[in-house]
Every structure is written in structure tokens, then in C-alpha cells.
Chains A and B, each alone.
Chain A
Amino acid sequence: EPEVTQTPSHQVTQMGQEVILRCVPISNHLYFYWYRQILGQKVEFLVSFYNNEISEKSEIFDDQFSVERPDGSNFTLKIRSTKLEDSAMYFCASSREDSLNQPQHFGDGTRLSIL
């Protein structure tokens, strides 16, 4: 069964550095999402992306964050000038259609540790 793949599985970065988290959504999916889960807390929505532009974003997704679909297969989340509180598990998800009717399929996540 096709799946969403995320790399790396674990990223350790010094505070203030930039990180790029990578995702390969399921090939025929059109909607893409990023979520994060701080240890012990709820999964939180960051951003959704469709037709090469952001369709929704949360309060968390400020100017520090950006997303890009640089080619036909990858979907990336860039975090500039990382802070300690950015440490979390970051999940990428995709859906074939709008989530009104189709479930989102999640990757296994990237654990980001900011030192």
C-alpha cells in the first residue's frame, strides 16, 4: 500500500540554525499537510497546501516557517532560526481530495531536537 515517507527520521540541530524536513506524499494525492506534536501534547495543525500554494495555516505557522513543493514528488517544511521550543515530532500528511471526504494519510514523522 502506498505510504507517505519522511526524512530524516531524527534531526538534531543547534538553536538558531535552519532545518528542512522532507516528505514524499502519496503519488496521486493533491493535498498536503504538516503537523507537529510536542512531547506529551496534542497533535497540532501547522499548514495545508494545495495547487502550489498555502490553503490554511495555524497561528503556529509564523514567518519562521515556510513550505515548498520543489518538484513533482517532494514537499518540504523549512524552519528558520530554530528555537528550543521547536523541538517536536513533525508529521507530514497527504490526501487525494479535500479532507471533507477523504482521510489524511500520515508519515511516520521526523523527530526534531533543538539543542
Chain B
Amino acid sequence: KQEVTQIPAALSVPEGENLVLNCSFTDSAIYNLQWFRQDPGKGLTSLLLIQSSQREQTSGRLNASLDKSSGRSTLYIAASQPGDSATYLCAVLETALIFGKGTTLSVSS
């Protein structure tokens, strides 16, 4: 059974710092991997989708990588801002999306 794990569970950084969020999954037979952002009391916002055949995707200050063989993905956030404070969720697609528990990021000004 697929398990998705995100480390760390929480992270606090000062504004301007570059940071990396980690996601690991136990079964490499996935169609794609997606990173979402969840703000308190809100739904999930899709940030990046990486196909299983791809190695990385970039959107603005965000860069996500995928190493399917080792079951790992990272989300790199450059020059963090207070507005980046949120919970970041990783999810892999098999027949349905399977989510990790998320990393709660706090960026202080």
C-alpha cells in the first residue's frame, strides 16, 4: 500500500531564505506527483505537477524535482516571503491521489 511521508512536519525560516521541503513515497508505480498549498480554512491550491517521466518542474520561485526510482521529491522555494506561509502537501497519483500529511511552513519578516 502506497505511503507518502513529508519531512519536516513544520519549518520556520526568516524571510529571504531558500528552503527545501521533502516528500517520499514507498511505491514508484505512480502516474505523477503533485505539490499543493493549503492555507488555514481553505482548500488545496495546485502548485506543480510532475509527470512520472519528468525530473522537475518550475513555476516562478518554486522548483519541484522527482526521483521516481528512489521514491523522492523535493520542493525548493527560493527567496521565501511571509506570504509563502502555509501547509505544503505532496500527493502521488495511482488510481487516485494519495497525500502526505504536509509540511507547515512559517516565514517570518
B98 to chain A: which residues have CB within 8 Å?
45
Contact B96 A108 (CB under 8 A): no
* Contact A99 B93, CB 8 Å, known A43-B44, A108-B42, A109-B43: yes
Which of B32, B44, B95, B102 is within 8 Å of A106, CB to CB?
Answer: B44
Contact B96 A48 (CB under 8 A): yes
Contact B43 A104 (CB under 8 A): no
A45 to chain B: which residues have CB within 8 Å?
96-98
- Near A by CB (< 8 A), chain B positions 34-55 give 34, 36, 41-46, 49, 51
Contact B96 A103 (CB under 8 A): no
A-B contact count (CB 8 A): 55
B73-109 vs A, Cβ < 8 Å mask (1 yes, 0 no): 0000000000000000101010111111110000000
Which of A4, A43, A48, A100 is within 8 Å of B99, CB to CB?
Answer: A43
B5 to chain A, nearest CB (A): 10
B89 to chain A: which residues have CB within 8 Å?
43
B93 to chain A: which residues have CB within 8 Å?
99-100
- Near B by CB (< 8 A), chain A positions 27-54 give 33, 35, 41-45, 48
A25 proximal to B (CB < 8 A): no
Please report the C-alpha to C-alpha distance between residue A105 and residue B45 in the assembled complex, in whole angstroms.
Answer: 7
Most B CB atoms within 10 A — which of A45, A101, A103? A103
A6 to chain B, nearest CB (A): 8
Please report the C-alpha to C-alpha distance between residue A101 and residue B97 in the assembled complex, in whole angstroms.
Answer: 13
A31 to chain B, nearest CB (A): 11
A42 to chain B, nearest CB (A): 5
Closest to B98 in A: A45
Residues of B within 8 A of A (CB): 4, 31-32, 34, 36, 41-46, 49, 51, 89, 91, 93, 95-102
Q: List 12 A-B contacts (CB under 8 A).
A: A4-B43, A6-B43, A35-B97, A42-B100, A43-B44, A48-B96, A56-B95, A56-B96, A101-B32, A103-B34, A104-B46, A108-B42
Residues of A within 8 A of B (CB): 4, 6, 33, 35, 41-45, 48, 56, 58, 91, 93, 99-109
